[in-house]
């Protein structure tokens, strides 16, 4: 039997955001934008979805009078990511390709 994949993480941009945040303490919006092929609008939308799910924290502040958005992964997000990786790995194992 196949495990259900978390629909919140089963999106290329959201999965990329989570993968980056898993490996750093925090990341600025501009860093994510540079490292993920998407638009500002789509990145903002996907960040909002992850925030609503409790997977990331979003901190809004200013740097030299310019808006600064910093993101970090939550413990809930780490658990969800690990569960997602485990579940999708099962799909590959059952295909005989791993």
- Please report, for the domain that includes residue 51, its CATH number: 1.10.10.10
Q: With the CA atoms of 32, 38, 41 and 43 taken in that order, what torsion angle do they form, in degrees rounded to the nearest 10? A: -40
Mean pLDDT of all residues in 48-76:
96
* pLDDT score of 98: 57
Domain count, the chain: 1
Is 78 domain-assigned? yes
Is 3 domain-assigned? no
Is 71 domain-assigned? yes
Q: What's the pTM?
A: 0.90
Is 50 domain-assigned? yes
Determine the structural domain holding residue 47 and report its residue range.
12-91
């Amino acid at each position: 039997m196949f495990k259900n994949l978390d629909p919140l993480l089963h999106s290329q941009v959201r999965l990329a955001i989570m993968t980056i945040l898993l490996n750093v303490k925090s990341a600025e919006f501009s860093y994510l934008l540079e490292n993920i092929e998407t638009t500002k609008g789509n990145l903002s939308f996907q960040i909002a979805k992850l925030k609503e799910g409790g997977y990331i924290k979003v901190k809004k502040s200013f740097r030299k009078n310019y808006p600064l958005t910093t993101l970090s992964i939550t413990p809930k997000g780490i658990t969800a990511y690990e569960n997602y990786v485990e579940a999708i790995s099962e799909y590959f194992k059952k295909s005989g390709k791993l």
